[in-house]
Every structure is written in structure tokens, then in C-alpha cells.
Amino acid sequence: MLYINSNDRDSLDTFRLLVYDYMKENKFRYSDQRERVLKILYSQHYPVSINFLVKKLNEQTLGAGYATVSRHIKIFEKLDMLIVVKKASKGYLLKKNIDISEVEVLNHEFTNDKSKNLP
């Protein structure tokens, strides 16, 4: 299982600036909703699904739908900010930092293996 200690990540501002610059460059609006999706991803240690993100946003009475959150995720993927876990239900995990894809891999006994670089 992939694991990233969210305390070891680059600052939220680093990720926010990357998204903001992309949005400005492409003449898109930087929305509150996109910010909240980024904050939810930033706080997660394990990969989460789009359904999880929708549920979390709706807990905050934002009323986001699956398609909207999917569009936000596509932008984050395009910016190479995410590690995508391709299983029956895709999971998304914000990288530790913008330039490196290091994660800690936990085995089924929940003991730590050495950190590895993903391709």
C-alpha cells in the first residue's frame, strides 16, 4: 500500500502556486472548489478515490459532483502532481513534492519497507 506522510510534503503553497500558474496561463479560473480538492488531497496519507473526494466536499456543503471533481483531478494529473494507483477503483495521492515521486510502501503486515522511486 502506498503511503506518504503529509507532514513531509512540500508546502501547500508550492502545489497551489503550480496549479494557479497553470490556470492563469490557460485563462482558467482558480476556484474555491479546486482549492478544497487540493487541500483534501494534501491532507491524505493514502490514495483516495474520486468518490471519496466528492463525499468530503459534500460534507463541507459544497455540492460537488463526480464530473467536476474528475476535471480537477485531470488538471492535477496533467501537472504531474499525483501518483495514480490503477486498481478496480482508481486512487489518487498527492506527491511528496513537485519534483520527486518517493513513497513509502507498506506491506500487508503494515511494516515499513524502504522508500522507493516510482517510474
Residue 59 to residue 62: CA distance in whole angstroms: 7
Reduce the DSSP state of residue 54 to 3 states and report it.
helix
How do residues 17-35 score in pLDDT, each as one tens digit?
Answer: 999 999 999 999 888 889 9
How do residues 48-78 score in pLDDT, each as one tens digit?
Answer: 999 999 999 898 766 788 999 999 999 999 9
CATH number for region 2-117? 1.10.10.10
Q: Strand runs (DSSP E) across 1-119, as ranges?
A: 2-3, 82-85, 91-94, 102-105, 116-117
Domain ranges of the chain: 2-117
Higher per-residue pLDDT: 114 or 102: 102
Highest average pLDDT, of 15-19, 85-89, 102-106, 110-114, comes from 15-19
